[in-house]
Amino acid sequence: MKQLDANFHARARDRLRSRAQDAGLDGLLLLRAPNLAYATGLFLSANERPMGVWLPVDGDPILMLPGLERENAEGTGITDARFYDEFPGDVPAVLWMLDQIGHKSIAIDALDATLLDAARERTMHLDLTDHAMAARTIKEPEEIALIAEAASFADLFLTRLHAAAGDIIAAGGTEADLMADAMAHARGALFSKHKNAFAGTPMGITASVHSGPRAALPHGSVLERVPQPGETLIAGIGASLGGYHAESGVTLIVGEISDEQRRIMTAMAACNDAAVDALANRTTCTQANDAALNALRAADLGDTIRHRIGHGMGLEGHEAPWLAPGDPTPIQTNMIFSNEPGVYRPGLDGYRTINTMIVTQDAVQIPSRFQANTPISARTIAI
């Protein structure tokens, strides 16, 4: 397992040039940090200083950065690197980039609305489509390998939580204590295995642990709260390796599972399976969302639905396409999504599971293995 190399990014630039040509453009100006990383391998901190790369259909790319990033331009395989002095500057950096490119037919992936008129004056034709994001939705084998490996460390957090939570809670441990213990375990393993090979690229674990009535909040802060017997405990985990993201998550029961809890968790498993089947059958993203959430509605849980079934993952933890209403994107091989059935009952409890799904040529691969290895009857915390 290793970082994506200069050859990968050179191939990515070729794919993006082809998209520009198909769109009748002279080239693409990429400003969004994930798109810059995709095309160049640069994982630089996004801040107020714009950074960009110009990918012409004909000719060599131009890397355009603030002067303080001069040394970081080395090693990208892009020989034409140009630098502006500072932000905000006498001429806004994005307009400076357009001046470097010349009067052409250009697509820009992101543009401040205050610069729109001036940008139009500097271009023959201005397209505000994010063509790079469209390319990134279809992952290459090297990207898929990184995401699958990241998912294993999200699982490792859950495995540790499941094994240690009983002792921690029995000793008076809180949600924050549970998260800290599992985080140290999973993050330590991730960095022990990959720190040297992936130095300079984003790598880490993010997590949330919520229990009891607060589990009814899809998003919320982890508190100094001791989970109580009979309550649900939701753990949602994100992991990244080499800049690529995966997710795993589960709902555990503190003590024994009640009949109602088992019913809900069984309905969520059916929701998860319906999403997988929809992807395997190459529906659209909206159709996959509908098929999955209909499994919850069939279990009389329609009024507990608070969010879509999933989202794309890659260089961003949340990225297009969206398994949600309003996204007609056809499911294609090598797309990667989260699968997040959720049941939320305000004032009472909440449930959520998360799997990473990789659409393969013939099926759907699930690199998140905690749920498959831990049946519903075993998702308990003995206290």
H/E/C letters for each residue in the chain? CCCCCHHHHHHHHHHHHHHHHHCCCCEEEECCHHHHHHHHCCCCCCCCCCCEEEEECCCCCEEEEEHHHHHHHCCCCCCEEEEECCCCCCCCHHHHHHHHHCCCEEEECCCCHHHHHHHHHCCCEEECCCHHHHHHCCCCHHHHHHHHHHHHHHHHHHHHHHHHHHHHHHCCCCHHHHHHHHHHHHHHHHHHHHCCCCCCCCCEEEEEEEEHHHHHCCCCCCCCCCCCCCCEEEEEEEEEECCEEEEEEEEEEECCCCHHHHHHHHHHHHHHHHHHHHHHCCCEHHHHHHHHHHHHHHCCCHHHCCCCCEEECCCCCCEEEEECCCCCCECCCCCEEEECCEEEECCCEEEECEEEEEECCCCEECCCCHHHHCCHHHCEECC
Q: Examine the pLDDT at 54 and tell me if it is beyond 90.
A: yes
The model's pLDDT over 195-228, given as tens digits with 9 standing for 90+, comes to 999 999 999 999 999 999 999 999 888 999 999 9
pLDDT value at residue 45: 85
Once rounded to an integer, what is the mean pLDDT over residues 131-147? 98
pLDDT at 44 over 80: yes
pLDDT tens for residues 267-280?
A: 999 999 999 999 99
Q: Where exactly does CATH 3.40.350.10 map onto the chain?
A: 6-136
Say how far apart CA 39 and CA 33 lie, in whole Å: 10
pLDDT at 5: 94
What is the architecture of the domain spanning 141-381? Answer: Alpha-Beta Complex (3.90)
Q: Where in the chain is the domain with CATH 3.90.230.10?
A: 141-381
| pLDDT at site 74 | 86
% of the chain beyond a pLDDT of 70: 100
In whole angstroms, what is the distance from residue 377 CA to residue 375 CA?
5
- What is the CATH architecture of 6-136? 3-Layer(aba) Sandwich (3.40)
- Average pLDDT of the residues in 47-71: 96
Cα separation, 235 vs 207, in Å, equals 7
pLDDT at 241: 98
Tens-place pLDDT, residues 308-344: 999 999 999 999 999 999 999 999 999 999 999 999 9
pLDDT at 331: 98
Model confidence at 46, in pLDDT bands (50, 70, 90)?
confident
What is the per-residue pLDDT for 250? 98
